[in-house]
Amino acid sequence: MKKLTEKQFQEFINKIKIQVINNQNTIIRLNDEVFDTRLCLIKNNSEDIFLGIFNSKEDVKLKNIPLTEGLIIQNAQESRQNGVVVILEKGHDEDIFFQFILHITNELFVEMSGRKTSEKLFKILSSWQGFFNRRRKPISRNNQLALMGEIKVLELLVLKNIDNINGLNSWQGPNNGLHDFVLPKCNLEVKSSTEKMNIKFTIHGEKQLDDIPDKNLYLINPIFELNTEGQDLYQYITDMKKKLDNEVIIQLFENMIYKAGFRKMHKIYYNEEGLKLKFQNFVTYRVDKNFPRIIADTSPKDIVVDAYTINSQACKDCIVDISKIEEDIINGS
C-alpha cells in the first residue's frame, strides 16, 4: 500500500504554508486523484492548517464524534461534498498534530468507499483519543515558579560565563538531579520565591545540602514579583530560545524543558491561568558548615529526613556576592 513519507508530508506542509489565495481556503490534495476518498491539507484565512477527508461518490460522515482534548473534529462540506475535518485547537502541539494527520492519511490513502472511509476514520480517531486525553497536564504553579527560577539562573549566571553547550549540559534540574546545576568547581541549588521577606527554602533530604568533596555548593534564591504585567512560563521560554545562538542549542534547551514537563500545547493555559512574574534579583548563599542544614552526619542514624524547611533569615550570615559564584563557574570551564 502506498504511503507518504515524513519527508513528503513535510514538503506538503511547507508548500501550503507559503501559498496564498485571497478570501478562500487553500487546499492541497495528499493522495492520488485515482482514489475516490480525497485527503487534503486545508489552510483557512486565519492561517490554520488542518486535514479534510471527503469522497467523490459518497458522504464521509461521523455519527458519533470522539471528544478529544486539543482537537476539533466536525462534519463539514467542501465543493458540495460532505466530509470530516480535523482541526488543532489553539495552543496545542502542532508537531504532534501533524504526525497524527500523517497517520490518518496513510491509513486512508487508497480508500475508495465513503462508508469504509467513515468507519476507518472513526476507529483511528477513537484509538488516538486515549493518547491525546492522557497527555501531560500543565505544570503546577509551584513548579512553574521553580522552572522559571532555573531558567533565570541558566540565562543570567551560567550561560553568561560559559559556552552554551556546557552550560545546558550542566543543568540537571529537569533530570531530577540532586542539584539543579552541576559544574566542575561548584554545584548550584535553586530555590525560587515570590517574596523578599520570610522566605522558606524547602530542602529535599539530608544529601541536598551535604558537603561535596573539592567543590563549593551554593543556594541561589531568584526573587520574583507576582505581577499581572509580568511574563508567563511560555513567554519566559520563548524569550530564552531567542537568546540561544543556533538550532542545535535550541533543540538541546527544548529537550530539557520537555523533561521538566513543559508542553507547547498548554500555551493558552499558561497565558490565562499560569503565574505572571517579573524577575527582581538573586540572593546567593554559600552552603558550608555555617549554613543551617540537616545532613546525614548530624542526624540520628535511625531517623531519615525526606524534606525540611529553612527560614532565609537564619541564612543571612552565609550570603555571598554573586561574583564569587561567577568566578567558580569560569574557573571550572
In the predicted model, what is the mean pLDDT of residues 39-45? Answer: 93
Compute the mean pLDDT over every residue in the chain, rounded to the nearest whole number: 91
Q: How is residue 273 written as a grid cell?
A: 491561568
pLDDT tens per residue, range 215-240? 999 999 999 999 999 999 999 999 99
Pairing, β 308-311 against β 49-55? unpaired
Q: How does residue 174 score in pLDDT terms, banded at 50, 70 and 90?
A: very high
**pLDDT number for residue 258:** 81
CB atoms within 10 A of CB 285: 24
In the predicted model, what is the mean pLDDT of residues 236-263? Answer: 89
**Complete DSSP assignment for 59-125:** ----SS----TTEEEEEEEETTEEEEEEEEPTTS-HHHHHHHHHHHHHHHTT---HHHHHHHHHHHH
Greater model confidence, 3 or 229: 229
The residues, any chain, with a CB within 8 Å of residue 182's CB and separated by 6 or more, are 170, 172
CB of 114 closer than 8 Å to CB of 55: yes
In the predicted model, what is the mean pLDDT of residues 15-33? Answer: 87
Q: How does residue 167 score in pLDDT terms, banded at 50, 70 and 90?
A: very high
Whole-model pTM over 0.75: no
Q: Which residue reads 542549542 in cell numbers? A: 249
Rounded CA separation 37/61 (Å): 12
HSE-CB of 278 using CA atoms within 13 angstroms: 7
Rounded CA separation 47/76 (Å): 18
**pLDDT number for residue 133:** 59
Of the candidate ranges 94-98, 100-104, 310-314, the one whose mean pLDDT is the lowest? 94-98
Which residue type does 98 have? Answer: F
Q: What is the CA radius of gyration of the chain?
A: 26
CB of 42 closer than 8 Å to CB of 27: yes
pLDDT tens per residue, range 105-155? 999 999 889 999 999 999 888 877 766 655 567 899 999 999 999 999 999
